[in-house]
Amino acid sequence: MQANLEVLEGLVRRLDINVPMDQLETEVQSRLKRLARNVKMDGFRPGKAPLSAVARQHGPGVRQEVLGETLQARFGEAVQAHQLKIAGYPRFEPKTGQGAAAEMTFSASFEVYPEVKIDALNSGKISRPAVDLSEADVMKTLEVLQKQRRTFEKADRAAAEGDLVRFDYQGTVDGTPFEGGKGEDFAAVIGEGRLLKDFEQSLVGLKAGDSKGFDLTFPAEYAARELAGKAAHFEVQVKEVQAPVLPPVDADFAKALGVEDGDVEKLKAEVKANLEREVKRRVQTKLKEQAMELLLQKSTLDLPQSLVAMETERLLKMTEADMQSRGVQTMKLSADMFTGQAERRVRLGLILAEIVQANKLTAQPEQIRALIAEQAQSYEEPEQVVQWYYQSPERMQEIESLALEENVVAWVAGQAQVEDVTTSFEELMGRA
């Protein structure tokens, strides 16, 4: 077999592959004979159709099948002979100007993986949040849990932040009522953001039976485009004010949150353990983000466009499936919307693969076990979650990839300048 390699622009290569037609036809005839033994054709009993009739009906399909397999096999042999690393899939085309020769020549165009050059990382800087969880952080989290289980009781006073207010309202724009601008017996908690902030603040200080008129301007990015940026006037009549009542942090509260014996100290310990896991996860995420950005800045490589196209298509299909699963009306999505993201993902994937191979990074069994145990801790039956992971090669592959990613981040952190920055829990959570 002859397979001449031609270097084209960038990462594109082309192989010319000769296919002996006598061998091709021999295999085609062999398959047609096997097919004729069982094939069902109109006018004939199964397996009794003449070979000529079988060839007329099925010959083109069988020939195309044999040709495809032959090209793939010979292409694989040529790739091994030239020691090529193929990115994506080859495109086969017959050479023009060929007659009834003993051989047919096909050209296979494809891309190869690029050379990845990574500059020294010792000048790169990474900030690592250093968080010391306090008792106050635990108590604030307990307060959030209390608010999630709050009740409301009627209050004979003016409405304040956190109160539930029931009211009627009527809105107008330029003196004209608008769709959705009227409501009766509407209820909202002041400060939760269900209403526009100016609307909520206008309810503060009103008691049951009070009425008030006020003006506000809809935000420029308001969802109802016909109201965006417009000034409106509202009249409200308050019917009732209810004050929030938080459940006490006691045995019943602890039991409601899964502590069977109602031990409040156990509850606090569990809350703290959950916060510590969240801190670890967020710190690792911030380290990963910075490590990836540093690698992108310090690396040079050509992108195989075939891989970018495949990743673009994958992101497009994944987004469409996600929108459908959430009941969102699927708009027409363009592949161009995902090209930038696909290029970044392919670039990072190639860089990470180079680092893993060059530094012989591997996911250790104990590291995988620790990651699975960590994932399982947030579930009520962690042992079952651990078994669930180990029962699936696909899920284990996901964990192994996560472990390798962590190892790359650790490798980058070992090369770069890492500075520990004292950070409060609120800052880490983005609530400062």
pLDDT tens digits, one per residue of 210-228: 999 999 999 999 988 899 9
Which residue ranges does the chain devote to CATH 3.10.50.40?
151-245
Answer yes or no: is pLDDT of 207 > 80: yes
Q: Give the residue-averaged pLDDT of 295-302.
A: 96
CATH 3.20.20.70 matches 151-245:
no
pLDDT in tens, 112-165: 999 999 999 999 999 999 999 999 999 999 999 999 999 999 999 999 999 999
Q: Which residues of 334-366 are buried (b: 16+ CB within 10 A; e: fewer)?
A: eeeebbeebbebbbbebbbebbbeeeebebeee
Which residue ranges does the chain devote to CATH 1.10.3120.10?
125-133+263-428
The terminus-to-terminus CA distance of the chain in angstroms comes to 69
Residues near 159 by Cβ (< 8 Å), separated by ≥ 6?
A: 165, 190, 203, 204, 205, 206, 207, 238, 241
CATH topology of domain 3-112: Alpha-Beta Plaits (3.30.70)
Which residue ranges does the chain devote to CATH 3.30.70.1050?
3-112
How much is the pTM? 0.76
Contact 176, 153 (CB under 8 A): no
Which helix (H) or strand (E) segment holds residue 321: the answer is helix 305-325
Q: Report the pLDDT value the prediction gives residue 326, as an integer from 0 to 100.
A: 82
AA identity, residue 259: V
pLDDT grade, residue 271 (50/70/90)?
very high
Contact 295, 118 (CB under 8 A): yes
417-422/125-130 β-pairing:
parallel
Greater pLDDT, 104 or 284? 284
Q: Give the residue-averaged pLDDT of 357-366.
A: 94
pLDDT grade, residue 330 (50/70/90)?
low
Answer yes or no: is pLDDT of 349 > 90: yes
pLDDT grade, residue 3 (50/70/90)?
low
CATH topology of domain 125-133+263-428: Trigger factor, domain 2 (1.10.3120)
pLDDT grade, residue 54 (50/70/90)?
confident
Residues near 8 by Cβ (< 8 Å), separated by ≥ 6?
A: 14, 109
From 137-146, 149-158, 325-334, 384-393, the region with the lowest mean pLDDT: 325-334
Answer yes or no: is pLDDT of 250 > 90: yes
Answer yes or no: is pLDDT of 329 > 90: no
